[in-house]
Amino acid sequence: MYKQDVIVVGAGVAGLSFAIQLAKIRPECSIAVLAKAQLDFSNTYFAQGGIATVTNLKTDSFEDHIADTLKSGAGLSSPAIVETVVKSGPQRIHDLVEYGVEFNYQKNGDFDLALEGGHSKPRVVHSFDHTGANVQKALLETAKSLPNISFYEFRFSIELLQTEANEVKGVTVLNLQTNEIEIFESKLLVLATGGSGQIYKNTTNPSVATGDGIAMGIKVGAMTSHLNFVQFHPTALYQKNTSRLDLLTEAIRGFGAYVVNHLGKRFLLETETRGELATRDIVSLAIFKELEKSGRKCVYLDCRHLDKDEFKKTFPQITANLISKNLNFETDLIPIVPAAHYQCGGLTVNEKSQTNIKCLYAIGEVADTGLHGENRLASNSLLEGLVFGHDTAEWIAGIIDEINPVSVKNEGNLRFSTENDAIFQKTILEIKTIMSSNATIAATAATLEMAAVQLAVINNYLATLQADNVVSEMSLIVTNLLLNAQAIVNEKLLHINKNSATKVVENESFSTLVLK
């Protein structure tokens, strides 16, 4: 058994930002960071574009960034949360510079700012075309330098541990290297587990993005909201037989690339005056409709007219990746397809990142903070993780002494076995097929109802296999994917059939005084 003051499940931008800030403020506080794989394998690592931040008040303004975010969220974002995040951006960028992140600068010393879809002005601070990897590296190095942070890799979190008063006081995990069940106890727990893109066949998310935090939260009664709003990135590199599609950053379209069909036509302009610079939901839906109309597997990104030297300089990693796949942006149309990219909703939290379950917090993509609403504005996700990681640490630093450690009775009835893994792997593919066919942003009430029935059949079948509390990596993945898939389909059906999407009002769902 491991005992710490605070457990953080997840080692991406949100989890690491939180751990660093809390460790700096409260050096006597012990913090455990649990990672499902190696520490640098997260959605953060694969984020290419950058961080949307107002860095030059002469050419941009907080008001414009706020307006762009609210417009993208289609009335479902919290104005107060949006204002807080946007106005906190410059200081969080300053933190990253201090941690060693090397951003791109202009010759005059100002940040080199990229223009991305949905933004009225260039404001995306970036580190070439691999910002996420550089941010992850700097945060990890900083966190490892702090003696009160302990890291535990290859720990697959199974279930949250609660007291009789329903306070979360720890988590059971499967050690993927030893196949042992381990128990971690704490005063409180912070979920920073990322999203659930792996429920779809086409996703930009890595294999670890199986909705673990959402699933664990649902199991203990945590509220969820806006799970129906799964953002599809419109420009993922079309590839066959892979669990993660390579992302082609939004910034390429901001750089001037065109989206065309197999005839070379820029079809986006038929329904959207902004064309390639429309928000991701609009561009992705237009591509889905074009594919349905044409019967083709993909559309294309046309970069052939762009400045070749500047493209290579701005997007070196993407250029190299294309070459490795025998694609040349100078002469070839680049095949693209929309792919599940970001979970706009999540576990419902207030402005302190508290869920409705005592001692359970959620930050980053796993949380519905009130920032994104119906559609996340490009490059607002790393910003959200940085801001809520920092601010939640500030809050917890002030209340951690008031929370007493309580040992949680654990029956210890879980056992490891891979006896049904072949069945689980097959079922995972079935879930992906159902969601990809019937529950994308192009879904209808009819397709969603079909998905709900199909998922219910899988649920009943899995219940017969998992009744004896057997766990394995595959059993946990299939369970979590199914829980997320059912939650997403149910919320999509509610949204379509009843038009019941609720506008967020200041995210004051619960009292910060009660839920510590």
Residues with active-site annotation: 280
How far is it, in rounded angstroms, from Cα 109 to Cα 306?
A: 25
SS3 for 99-123 is HCCCCCECCCCCECEECCCCCCCCC
**Nearest Cα to Cα of residue 166 among 406, 435, 430, 348:** 406
**Nearest Cα to Cα of residue 81 among 370, 464, 451, 470:** 370
How far is it, in rounded angstroms, from Cα 334 to Cα 347?
A: 36
In angstroms, how far is the first alpha carbon of the chain from the final one?
24
How far is it, in rounded angstroms, from Cα 5 to Cα 185?
A: 8
- Tokens for 286, please give them: 């237009």
Beta-strand pair 124-125/113-114: antiparallel
How far is it, in rounded angstroms, from Cα 466 to Cα 459?
A: 10
Cβ(145)–Cβ(22) under 8 Å? no
Other beta carbons less than 10 A from residue 409's beta carbon = 9
Cβ(202)–Cβ(245) under 8 Å? yes
Cβ(68)–Cβ(119) under 8 Å? yes
- Tokens for 284, please give them: 């992705």
- In the β-sheet with 6-9, what is the strand arrangement from edge to edge? 149-152, 31-34, 6-9, 188-191, 360-362
